[in-house]
Amino acid sequence: MASSLVMARFDKLDSVASGGFGVVYRARDRRSGDIVAMKCIRAISLDDAAFSREVSALDACSGHPYIVQPRAHGRGDDGEAVLVMEFVGPTLRHVIRSSRRKRSELEVRVAMRQLLSGAKRMHDVGLMHRDLKPDNVLVDARTGNLKICDLGLSQSTAAPPPYAGHVGTRWYRAPEILLGSTEYDERVDSWSLGCIMAELLTRNPPFRGSSDREQLSEILDVLGTGDVKQWRGYKGQRLPGGCEPESSLRCLFPCPEEAKMAGRPPLSEAGFEVLSGLLRCNPEKRMTVAQALRHRWFKETDSASLRHR
């Protein structure tokens, strides 16, 4: 759509978010009267390649219920890039921080089914998101459904590796990227979704390193070193932390019978199979999002409620 038409079609109402990139406004579509989100990226901070990637990725995923839907894009008179999308609601990060209670396993299952479904759509059209985190997930204020957003770091898998290293946000960055790999695949998104699942259960990110080395150390302290050492991409690097070869993740997410005594969030055996499958340090053994969606956790007795969310 021509830039002048984009700017003329929408009326800015108020700012809903801002950062170094620019500002996101709530706006009104003059044609339909719909409220939309208008992301305005300052010319000084504009990365044309990232903007083009996001536009292309959103177009490729158009129509999926758990990915934010594009409306229009163009340029303003001052050179800023404008991306107009459906208006959804607050970020999942905001909702997690503002809530005083922990989610039930059923609520987490509903959320994870939606996020895995959105990620699968991206993977099916040949895209990795590469920056999945609660800040890049929106919560529909009316339905509570989740929608993946901010696809600016997405990468087409039609082009073979090597890919850019050290992409994404550190707390949700897969171990292979922390170890410097540039030959990763869609399972970097699986790892990020595993981190989000753990955060939904506890209200806190599971690994919070202040550097890549500290992040890897926190991961290995919980998941052990044995798994990553079996990865064919492991080059014998000295690993920080992680004195034990085996994972202690189950201790942090015990079965319901033991959770109250341990003071930890309960997680059924099936739920733990999904969490531990996503949080495999060895990407070759990590669950894909498609495998996770086929897991029995999503087919248990209360699955009828999942289909209507």
Model confidence pLDDT, tens digit, residues 157-200: 999 999 999 899 999 999 999 999 999 999 999 999 999 999 99
Kind and range of the H or E run holding 226 = helix 226-229
Strand, helix or coil for residue 107? helix
The answer to whether residue 307 scores a pLDDT higher than 50 is no
Please state which of the ranges 3-7, 32-36, 157-161 shows the lowest mean pLDDT: 3-7
Give per-residue pLDDT as tens, 76-103: 767 788 999 999 999 999 999 998 888 9
Tokens of 83: 């991306």
The answer to whether residue 36 scores a pLDDT higher than 50 is yes
- As a whole-number percent, the residues of the chain with pLDDT over 90 amount to 79
Tokens of 237: 């690097």
Q: What value does the CA radius of gyration of the chain take, rounded to a whole number of Å?
A: 20
Placement of tokens 């050492």 in the chain = 229
The answer to whether residue 227 scores a pLDDT higher than 90 is yes
Q: What is the overall mean pLDDT for the chain?
A: 92
Give per-residue pLDDT as tens, 94-128: 999 998 888 999 999 999 999 999 999 999 999 99
Question: Would you say domain 92-307 falls under CATH 1.10.510.10?
Answer: yes
Which residue type occupies 118? Answer: G
Strand partners, 19: 22
In the chain, CATH 1.10.510.10 sits at 92-307
Fold of the CATH domain 6-86: Phosphorylase Kinase; domain 1 (3.30.200)
Q: Which residues participate in catalysis according to the annotation?
A: 131
What is the spatial distance between Cα 152 and Cα 50, in angstroms, rounded to a whole number? Answer: 5
Q: Which of 225, 272, 230 is nearest to 251 (CA)?
A: 272
In the chain, CATH 3.30.200.20 sits at 6-86
What is the spatial distance between Cα 136 and Cα 107, in angstroms, rounded to a whole number? Answer: 19
Compare 137 and 3 and report the one with higher pLDDT. Answer: 137
* Burial category of 251 from C-beta neighbours within 10 Å (exposed 0-12, middle 13-18, buried 19 and up): exposed
